[in-house]
A = this chain, B = another copy of it.
C-alpha cells in the first residue's frame, strides 16, 4: 500500500513553524504532489502552499490528506478529528505522522473501513516483515550514514536522487522515516519495527532490481549513537549498500540526546560503517561526505568543506546548499 497523491497538507493549529517541519519537507521535495495547505484557526505555520478548504481540495483532485504536523500532548483535538472525518467523507485517504495511530481513533477507523478509504500511519509499520536473510540482491544501493542523528541524511539522499533523475539515471529514494515516507509515497519507519526485524525490513525496502538501478536509502541514527546504533546497524546490514555517503553537522557540542558522549571523528565513522557493512556487501565503499553547513556563512562553509575533503580524501559538499553532483560523479 502506497500513499496516493496529490496531497493536501494538514497543518492543524500548529503553534509554530517547527511543528509543521514534516509538511514543510514534503512540500519542498514533492512540490508537484502538494496542491495546498489546510490551516485551522490559530495556526502559526505556513509552508507556502495555497490555503485550501477540504471542499476545495477535493475539487482540485486531492487523493490524500497528510497530517504533517506535530500535535501537543499526544491527543487529537476535536477540531482536528472533525477535519479528518470530513476528508474521508469527501473521498480522501489520510496519512499521518503522529505518534497516535489513526487506526486507534474509533470514529475515523470505522468510517474509513466503511467508506473503503486507506489510513496510513507513517510512524508505525503497517506490514509484517521476515527476518533478514543476508543474501546479495541485484541492483545498486547507496545508504546515507551519519556522525549523529538529525544531520541531514534524508536531505542528502533526496539531493542525490534529484541529481540522478536529472541525469536520466534509474533511481528510487527509499524512505525510512515519516517525512521520507510522505515524500516517497511508501517506505518503512525502521526505528518502529520490532527489533528482530530491523534488517529484514531494510531488505524488503530495497528489493532486487535492474543492474543499472540505484536505490538511495535514507539512513537513520548513527553507529556512534548510544540509543539508536542498533537501528543503524540493522539498516546497514539490510540495505547492503555498494556506496555510503557520510553526513555530518559541524556545530554539535555532543551526540544529540546523550550529553555524556562526544561527537565521533569522521574517519572513525566511515571506518566503522565500512567494517560492519562488509558483512552483507564486501564491496561497500564511502564515496563522499555531505556536511549540513546551514549554520555557517558561505566562507566558513567552504573552508570547512575543503578542510574535510583534504583530510579524508573524499568529495565533501553540502548536498543541500550545493547539490549532489560531485557525489554522483564519485560513483562513476
Residue of B nearest to A275 (CB): B272
Whose C-beta in chain B lies nearest to the C-beta of A199? B227
**Residues in B whose Cβ lies below 8 Å from that of A238:** 226
Contact with B along A217-237 (1 / 0, CB 8 A): 000000110111111111101
Do residues A279 and B134 form an inter-chain contact, with CB atoms below 8 A? no
Q: Does A196 contact B (CB under 8 A)?
A: yes
Q: Min CB distance, A102 to chain B, in Å? A: 18
Could you tell me the distance between the alpha carbons of A144 and B235 in the complex, rounded to whole angstroms? 24
What CA separation (Å) do A190 and B198 show in the bound complex?
13
> A223 — which chain B residues lie within 8 A by C-beta?
233, 276
Determine the chain B residues whose CB is within 8 A of the CB of A198 once the complex forms: 195, 230-231
Interface residue A258 (Cβ < 8 Å from any Cβ of B): yes
Cβ contact within 8 Å between A134 and B261: yes
**Contact present for A134 and B258 (CB under 8 Å):** yes
Task: A193 to B198: give the CA distance in the assembly, Å.
Answer: 11
Determine the chain B residues whose CB is within 8 A of the CB of A258 once the complex forms.
132-135
Is the beta-carbon distance between A134 and B255 smaller than 8 angstroms? yes
How far apart are A205's CB and chain B's nearest CB, in angstroms?
Answer: 14
B-facing residues in A236-268 (Cβ within 8 Å)? 237-238, 255, 257-258, 260-261
Copies of this protein in the complex: 2
A52 is an interface residue with CB less than 8 A from chain B: no
Q: Which residue of B lies closest to A221 (CB)?
A: B196
Contacting residues, chain B, for A187 (C-beta < 8 A): none
Contact code string A169-195 (vs B, CB < 8 Å = 1, else 0): 000000000000000000000111111
B residues less than 8 Å from A131 (CB atoms): 227-228, 257
With A131-B257, A260-B134, A260-B135 given, is the CB distance from A194 to B193 under 8 Å? Answer: yes
Residues of B within 8 A of A135 (CB): 258, 260
Residues of B near A235 (CB, < 8 A) are 230
- Is the beta-carbon distance between A196 and B261 smaller than 8 angstroms? no
| A200 adjacent to chain B (CB < 8 Å) | yes
Q: How far is the CA of A234 from the CA of B225 in the complex (A)?
A: 10
* Complex alpha-carbon distance, A218 and B224, angstroms: 23
- When distances are taken between beta carbons in the complex, the residues of chain B under 8 Å from A231 are 195-196, 198, 230, 234
Smallest CB–CB gap between A136 and chain B, Å? 7
A133-B258, A134-B260, A260-B136 known; A230-B195 Cβ under 8 A:
yes
Q: How far is the CA of A234 from the CA of B196 in the complex (A)?
A: 12
Known: A131-B227, A133-B257, A192-B195. 15 other contacts (CB 8 A): A134-B258, A136-B260, A191-B195, A194-B194, A195-B195, A195-B234, A196-B228, A196-B231, A199-B227, A199-B230, A229-B237, A230-B231, A230-B237, A231-B234, A233-B233
23 contacts between A and B (CB under 8 A): A131-B228, A132-B227, A132-B228, A132-B258, A133-B257, A134-B226, A134-B260, A134-B261, A135-B258, A136-B260, A190-B195, A191-B194, A191-B195, A194-B194, A194-B195, A195-B195, A195-B231, A196-B231, A198-B230, A229-B237, A229-B276, A230-B233, A261-B280
